[in-house]
Amino acid sequence: MTSQSSTLLCEGFAFPEGLRWHDEQLWISDQTTGTVWTMTEDGAAEPLVNVPGGASGLGWLADADLLVVSMADRRLLRVHAGTGEVAVHADLGNLPGYRLNDMVVATDGQAYVGDFGFDPRALVARFGSSALDGDQVPAAFLARVDPDGSVHLAADGLRFPNGCAITADGRTLIVAETFGRQLTAFDRSETGALSARRPWVTLDARPDGICLDAEGAIWVANAGAAECLRVSAPRAGRSAAVIDRVVTGAPAYSCALGGSDGHTLFLATAQNSPDARTPGRIEIARVDVPAAIST
């Protein structure tokens, strides 16, 4: 396994999350302040929109409208390209859960949105911090939101579904189960339905945000340590395994591959939890394999 250290690109966020490289910019959700930011490759950041419910997952529709997860009110917002007008794209309040989390949007406009499933603070207060790695963690769902805003239950029984990624051919969805300590894969049909649930890899980590590279490997931000791990894709006769590591300056919560050549790994880090309001940072590392390109 190779290892390198990241370098600081920008700081001053509260709790950066939901990193995406899109339209030659890095997009960032600051969960604590609810602000969605755009950032140039050299670290110049500008606020775009504020989400009072707390901003998380980001993605785009075919018409370039931005989708943003509003966590506390359990809605998916749509920011219209050009005008900046914000509207409710979908309301997920009828699904059982606690607070919405990360999201991935497929090239066909279908969005997959995870939910905490429980209040982590309440669970820790009742059972102690070890409960987050035990059987007390309640199951949560992954929802599918179609381009027309209709909401469907895509999968359930997940342990804190977090970062998601869709393979370049659009046929496989991978979700990080933070408190399940694993990546889980599903086959994705032409209608967006998920099936054939299976483990992708089990990790000695708390996987948070993830992103795919051009070799089908997955970079995994480890919310339980100051690192981001690269996990190879499982092949016939070979299991997925950690093959590269980037050491960060603080626990890593999200990652994205991008930059002008696709070889920059952007990392969202913070010293503690969103409630601690400690300064968050965007760190970077140069990697050998560039970002995956969707087909």
Neighbours of 276 (CB within 10 A): 12
pLDDT recorded at residue 271: 83
- Is residue 207 predicted with pLDDT exceeding 60? yes
277 falls in which pLDDT band (50, 70, 90)? low
- Is residue 94 predicted with pLDDT exceeding 80? yes
Q: Which tens digit of pLDDT belongs to each residue from 99-152?
A: 999 999 999 999 999 999 887 777 777 767 766 776 677 889 999 999 999 999
- Is residue 41 predicted with pLDDT exceeding 80? yes
pLDDT recorded at residue 148: 96
Over residues 86-105, mean pLDDT: 95
pLDDT recorded at residue 219: 98
pLDDT recorded at residue 278: 60
- Please give the span between the terminal C-alpha atoms of the chain, in angstroms, as a whole number: 30
pLDDT recorded at residue 295: 46
pLDDT recorded at residue 128: 72
pLDDT recorded at residue 275: 57
pLDDT recorded at residue 239: 82
DSSP string for 136-205: TSPPEEEEEE-TTS-EEEEEEEESSEEEEEE-TTS-EEEEEETTTTEEEEEEE-TT--EEEEEEEEE-SS
Find which of 57-71, 118-132, 226-240 is predicted with most confidence, using mean pLDDT: 57-71
Burial of 138-167, coded b for 16+ CB within 10 Å and e otherwise, reads: bebbbbbbebeeebeebbbebbbbbbbbbb
Residue in 234, 222, 235, 237 with CA at minimum distance from that of residue 269: 222
- Is residue 48 predicted with pLDDT exceeding 90? yes
pLDDT recorded at residue 34: 96
> For the chain, what is the mean pLDDT?
93
pLDDT recorded at residue 226: 95
Dihedral sign (CA 178, 184, 188, 191): negative
* Domains of the chain, earliest start first: 2-286 (2.120.10.30)
Over residues 64-93, mean pLDDT: 96
Q: How far, CA to CA in Å, does 84 sit from each of 47, 54, 64, 67, 77?
A: 12, 18, 11, 12, 12
Q: Which tens digit of pLDDT belongs to each residue from 262-274?
A: 999 999 999 865 5
Residue 246, amino acid: V
